[in-house]
């Protein structure tokens, strides 16, 4: 069944007029105006708008993928709770900002910090036991922890009933015919800033060097005097804080709500496309997927957009099993 479906999809991907000829598009069918819209070449300005929103959402994918890869490299644990951490971080910011009337920047920073502490605490209490065990142990542990976080947020009535919007500036920036959403530009700028900070941390600080050493070869790092156990704690703290940061960035794009963590499911393809071992690779793959998805939403009939990241992942795994960066080990 899926095979037949893929074949249909591929047929539709190539020449656009074919859609009009068959007159039947996507699962539910599509109006002729949409097809005609897809036929005409997109005007430059709307293409740039699509690209900017794609890059913005891709930054969030990339950051979540980054947090995932950071944890995976340092501790060999596969974390299935990054989405829940993201959601929890956004709700923490909402609680601090609306509940305690803190200024937004302070609430956001505190929420990221709190989630970092939570990550460190969970590592000490629970996740430490997964080291050296098969992947499945970490997968199930983090899934269980994620369920608990989700359940905890659900049982707060104010959280499960309403959607919140963090009061980030949201205006539309008009440059000539071009209308760009300011929140998208904010997300992109914040991601660039964070990437610079992270690079500085990994290149310039002692802890960053130790963390890198630990990710390369934990045993050798231990022999060189790196406190490996503390580095694992640091990795989880950083991973949780990064996920929370991604939550802050997602908050102005979508609302803050219970299911916003589902975005992490698109971060997995990004992490794998990036080769699972490269932090810049994960970020870039995330942006690539965001753009691909936005373009697919723009050019292809409705319904294809959500499949694009997974279809690209399957294709990439089939064609380039060594990862896009080409250096990853094939079998882990």
Partner 1 sequence: MMRLRGVVVATLVLLGAMLAFGADHALGQATLVATYAIAGLGLAVIVGQAGQIVLGQGALVAVGAYVEALLAQRGVPPFISIVLAMMAGCLAGACASLPARRLGGLYFGMSTLAFAMIVEEVLTRWESLTRGGAGLSVPALGWAGMEAVTPLAQFLISAAALVLALVLCRRLCAGRIGRAWRAVREDEVAAAEACGIDLVRAKLAAFAVGGALAGLAGALYAHWIGFISPEQFGLFFSFELLMLVFIGGARHLRGAVLGALVIVSLPQFITLLRDVLPGDWGRSAGVESVLFGLVIVLVVLLRPQGIAAKGRAG
Pick from 118, 213, 272, 287: which binds partner 1 (CB under 8 A)?
Answer: 272
| Bridge partners, 331 (sequence order) | none
Where does this chain touch partner 1 (CB under 8 A) — which range of 1-9, 166-174, 198-206, 288-296?
1-9
String of contacts with partner 1 for each residue 94-133, x by CB under 8 A: --------------------------------x--x---x
Q: Does 179 bind partner 1 (CB under 8 A)?
A: no
Q: Are 60 and 253 in contact (CB under 8 A)?
A: yes
Where does this chain touch partner 1 (CB under 8 A) — which range of 14-22, 215-223, 245-253, 264-272?
264-272
Specify the residue, 197 or 314, whose C-beta has the smaller distance to partner 1.
Answer: 314
Of 284-303, binders to partner 1 (CB under 8 A) are 303
- The percent helix, strand, coil of the chain (3-state, each to 5) is 75, 5, 25
Pick from 58, 252, 269, 281: which binds partner 1 (CB under 8 A)?
Answer: 269
Sequence length of the chain is 332
Query: Can you read off the two tokens belonging to residue 199?
Result: 């690079």
Rg over alpha carbons for the chain, rounded to the nearest Å, is 21
- How many other β-carbons are positioned within 10 Å of the β-carbon of residue 227? 13
Location of structure tokens 């998208």: 184
Query: Can you read off the two tokens belonging to residue 29?
Result: 């069918």
Where does this chain touch partner 1 (CB under 8 A) — which range of 151-159, 205-213, 229-237, 280-288?
151-159
SS3 call for 257? coil
String of contacts with partner 1 for each residue 69-98, x by CB under 8 A: ---------x--------------------
Alpha helices in 175-278 (DSSP H): 182-204, 206-216, 218-223, 228-253, 264-273
SS3 call for 179? strand
Pick from 7, 13, 106, 148: which binds partner 1 (CB under 8 A)?
Answer: 148
Cα dihedral sign for 162, 250, 328, 304?
Answer: positive
Q: Shortest distance, CB of residue 98 to partner 1, whole angstroms? A: 20
Q: Which residues bind partner 1 (CB under 8 A)?
A: 1-3, 5, 26-28, 78, 126, 129, 133, 135-137, 139-141, 143-157, 160, 265, 268-269, 271-272, 276, 303, 306-307, 309-311, 313-314, 317-318, 321, 330-332
């Amino acid at each position: 069944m899926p095979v037949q479906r893929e074949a249909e999809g591929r047929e539709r991907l190539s020449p656009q007029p074919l859609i009009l000829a068959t007159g039947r598009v996507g699962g539910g069918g599509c109006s002729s105006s949409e097809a005609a819209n897809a036929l005409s070449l997109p005007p430059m300005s709307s293409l740039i708008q699509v690209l900017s929103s794609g890059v913005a959402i891709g930054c969030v994918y990339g950051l979540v993928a980054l947090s995932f890869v950071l944890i995976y490299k340092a501790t060999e644990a596969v974390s299935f709770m990054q989405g829940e951490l993201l959601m929890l971080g956004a709700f923490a910011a909402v609680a601090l900002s609306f509940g305690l009337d803190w200024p937004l920047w302070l609430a956001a920073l505190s929420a990221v910090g709190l989630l970092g502490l939570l990550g460190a605490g969970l590592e000490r209490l629970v996740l430490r036991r997964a080291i050296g065990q098969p992947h499945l142990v970490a997968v199930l542990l983090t899934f269980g922890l994620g369920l608990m976080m989700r359940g905890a947020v659900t049982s707060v009535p104010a959280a499960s009933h309403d959607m919140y919007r963090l009061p980030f500036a949201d205006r539309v920036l008009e440059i000539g015919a071009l209308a760009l959403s300011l929140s998208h530009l904010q997300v992109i700028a914040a991601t660039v800033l964070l990437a610079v900070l992270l690079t500085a941390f990994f290149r310039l600080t002692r802890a960053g060097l130790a963390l890198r050493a630990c990710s390369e070869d934990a045993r050798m790092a231990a022999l060189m005097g790196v406190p490996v156990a503390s580095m694992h704690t640091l990795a989880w703290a950083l991973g949780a804080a990064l996920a929370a940061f991604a939550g802050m960035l997602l908050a102005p794009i979508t609302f803050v709500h219970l299911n916003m963590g589902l975005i992490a499911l698109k971060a997995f393809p990004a992490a794998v496309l990036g080769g699972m071992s490269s932090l810049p690779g994960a970020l870039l793959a995330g942006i690539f997927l965001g753009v691909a998805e936005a373009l697919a939403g723009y050019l292809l009939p409705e319904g294809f957009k959500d499949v694009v990241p997974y279809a690209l992942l399957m294709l990439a795994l089939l064609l380039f099993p060594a990862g896009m960066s080409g250096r990853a080990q094939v079998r882990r």
